[in-house]
Amino acid sequence: MLSLNPSWKAFDYGTTHFWAHYGLCTFGFLLAVITYVTQAAKPAPYGKHQTTNHSFGPLVHQRLAHTVSDAIPGIFLFSLVFFHYGIKKETTNLLFYCMWLSHYLHRGIIHPWIMRYSSPKTPVGISLGALFPNLLYSFLNADWIGTADYGLYYYKDPCFVMGVMFFVAGYFINRYADLLLRRLRAEDSSKYYVPHGFLFDLISCPNYFGEMLEWFGWALATWSVAGVVWLLFSSATFIPRARDNHEWYTKKFADYPKNRKALIPFLYDTQFISELLNVSLNVTKREICHQKDDTLH
């Protein structure tokens, strides 16, 4: 049986803390929608899609920019909010803190300095565009897990158990996929190669798939609105990005495996999304026609 108790024990209804937290969650949801719409229309200009267009500002050091945009919000802000403003330091709350930090210690400190990037520079606008959402969602999630009273036996709850399992599975998928990508490129090389092995035999972006799985597990385990809006924002970035990367691979490499999907094994690719959009458009057209018929009659 799913436990709903934590969602009623974090903030007293009607308090400033309550309205501030859920107001920011609402903003976080809107930001996720805007992010999906903009990135679905055109890929952000970094990595495979980086251009010489300076509309995103001057170029800055790639590794340092990555560290600033991830480590400052994900480690330092998250820790400050959790320990300084949080009122709950029970085992479950501390476990959630360690889960979050396990991701950001790697993502913000280790990953930027061991990966072999195609370019040593990235637009400053991209770095700031990552920093701001990370500040928002790190604050929200730290605020939640530092305040929520999960009780003594939440570790038995199916949401917690399944969520932690998804998080751990996604964590290792993400790390191993990044490791394989790193091994593909020699030092001081900007050349791209077709990755093989592991989930790369099924999808083009297992690193994105793994991180999405992580945050799905996080949202499920914490059973929080903050976790859900963070999952939505992450997905709003990874889904169109995976589509664009998949299309980039198929255009650049004539022998790129045709059986690979973009993001989700056996399911998500550009054809799937196109068919889904076509179905939606056809349904909309039929509804408009029916409305016209009703008006005429």
One-letter amino acid at 173 equals I
Q: How far apart are CA 157 and CA 99, in angstroms?
A: 17
Q: How far apart are CA 147 and CA 153, in angstroms?
A: 17
Residue 209's nearest CA partner among 265, 267, 270, 263 is: 263
Q: Which two tokens stand for residue 131?
A: 């920093």
Q: Which two tokens stand for residue 29?
A: 């949801």
Q: How far apart are CA 28 and CA 86, in angstroms?
A: 21
Q: How many CB atoms lie within 10 A of CB 270?
A: 15
Are 3 and 154 in contact by the 8 Å Cβ rule? The answer is yes
pLDDT (0 to 100) of residue 8? 44
Question: Max Cα separation, the chain?
Answer: 72
What residues form DSSP beta bridges with 96?
none
Q: Which two tokens stand for residue 152?
A: 């003594």
User: What does the pLDDT profile of the chain (297 residues) look like in tens digits?
Assistant: 444 444 446 778 888 999 999 999 999 999 999 999 999 998 887 777 766 666 778 888 889 999 999 999 999 999 999 999 988 889 999 999 999 999 999 999 999 999 888 788 888 888 898 999 999 999 999 999 999 999 888 999 999 999 999 999 999 999 999 999 988 887 656 788 899 999 999 999 999 999 999 999 999 999 999 999 999 999 999 999 999 999 999 999 999 998 899 999 888 554 555 455 444 445 444 544 554 454 444
pLDDT (0 to 100) of residue 58? 85
pLDDT (0 to 100) of residue 284? 42
